[in-house]
């Protein structure tokens, strides 16, 4: 996927290559080389609208699709499957992760945006939820409904997941179950329907933990002492990946706030990643350079 430059830059490059003036030809060639180097060193471009005001789950999903389209090498969260987007719909490559459908083919083949901290956890004590469930908290503009919609659409709490896993997980809590992974083929995710608990793969335990700590800190979402102790343990045991740090930075640019538990852990562990800010800087530099010759 090539970097996403705005149309004005592409227009200038095309215009310069059509000119007979040698200076314009040189300009066009330099610009094309710059774009090639930009892509080589900084990967896929992502247009960030820093004026975005994420106030709903639907808005958050649209922004997340943009992110994952710009970073197509990232895997599905719980099973590590490859996936891609056809417009706004995510399609899962089940063979890429050895996933075997348990019960629901339709949802197993699509990407859904999973609330790591379930909506039930942060909504169940609200009056709007008691009166009308989740849907009751999504209508109206009273403070409680606005807060619910903000929490429901918080991008730090949303991950791309196989739809069947999202359905089976429901609002079950995370726990350290016996790691018997045989419900979904090679996917290392276990659902204990009787205990209403799930066990994720090690690769995402740290990110899950830092999401729980974030939701507790930012919105005062209550968790049991068992849950908090487990999340503290996972947070310390499983440091962030470069993608977790990068994703945190991108979401901060869009949503206006970081997950401080990720930021602190990335810095503490010396995690290196390609900053979105670096890509934005070089994109802006190239645009300004081209404007000189308009």
Q: What pTM does this model have?
A: 0.80
Separation CA 271–CA 291 (nearest Å): 36
Of 153, 166, 172, 157, the closest CA to residue 106 belongs to 166
- Split at pLDDT 50, 70, 90, the class of 131 is very high
Instruction: Tell me the per-residue pLDDT of 15-62, one tens digit each, with 9 for 90 and over.
Output: 555 656 666 667 666 766 665 555 544 444 565 555 457 889 999 999
Q: Around 293, how many Cα atoms within 13 Å sit in the side-chain half-sphere?
A: 23
* Beta strands at 89-93 and 110-115: parallel, antiparallel or unpaired: antiparallel
Check whether 6 has a pLDDT greater than 50: no
* Beta strands at 197-199 and 173-174: parallel, antiparallel or unpaired: parallel
What per-residue confidence (pLDDT) applies to 7?
Answer: 47
Of 39, 52, 5, 64, the closest CA to residue 247 belongs to 64
Are the C-beta atoms of 254 and 223 separated by less than 8 Å? no
Instruction: Find the mean pLDDT for residues 222-238.
Output: 98
Check whether 174 has a pLDDT greater than 70: yes
DSSP 280: H
The two three-digit tokens of residue 75, written as one number: 């895997």
Separation CA 191–CA 167 (nearest Å): 11
Question: What mean pLDDT is reported for the chain?
Answer: 85
Instruction: Find the mean pLDDT for residues 200-212.
Output: 99
Instruction: Tell me the per-residue pLDDT of 66-124, one tens digit each, with 9 for 90 and over.
Output: 999 999 999 999 999 999 998 778 999 999 999 999 999 999 999 999 999 999 999 99
Which of 30-44, 147-161, 268-282 has the lowest average pLDDT? 30-44
């Amino acid at each position: 996927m090539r970097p996403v430059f705005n149309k004005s830059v592409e227009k200038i490059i095309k215009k310069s290559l059509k000119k007979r003036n040698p200076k314009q030809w040189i300009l066009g060639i330099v610009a094309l080389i710059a774009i090639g180097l930009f892509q080589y060193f900084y990967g896929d471009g992502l247009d960030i609208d820093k004026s975005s005001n994420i106030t709903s789950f639907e808005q958050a999903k649209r922004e997340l699709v943009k992110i994952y389209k710009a970073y197509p090498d990232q895997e599905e969260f719980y099973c590590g499957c490859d996936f891609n987007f056809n417009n706004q719909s995510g399609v899962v490559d089940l063979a890429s992760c050895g996933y075997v459908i348990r019960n629901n083919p339709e949802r197993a083949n699509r990407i859904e945006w999973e609330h790591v901290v379930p909506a039930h956890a942060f909504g169940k004590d609200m009056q709007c939820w008691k009166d009308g469930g989740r849907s009751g908290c999504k209508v109206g503009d009273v403070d409680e409904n606005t807060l619910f919609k903000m929490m429901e659409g918080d991008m730090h709490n949303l991950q791309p997941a196989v739809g069947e896993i999202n359905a089976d997980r429901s609002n079950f809590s995370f726990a350290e179950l016996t790691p018997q992974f045989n419900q979904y083929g090679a996917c290392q995710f276990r659902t204990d329907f009787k205990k209403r608990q799930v066990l994720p793969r090690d690769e995402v335990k740290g990110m899950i933990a830092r999401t729980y700590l974030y939701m507790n800190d930012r919105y005062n979402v209550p968790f049991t002492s068992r849950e908090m102790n487990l999340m503290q343990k996972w947070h310390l045991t499983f440091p962030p990946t470069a993608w977790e740090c990068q994703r945190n930075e991108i979401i901060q640019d869009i949503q206006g706030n970081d997950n401080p538990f990720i930021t602190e852990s990335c810095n503490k562990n010396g995690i290196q990643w390609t900053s979105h800010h670096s890509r934005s800087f070089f994109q802006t530099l190239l645009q300004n350079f081209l404007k000189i010759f308009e």
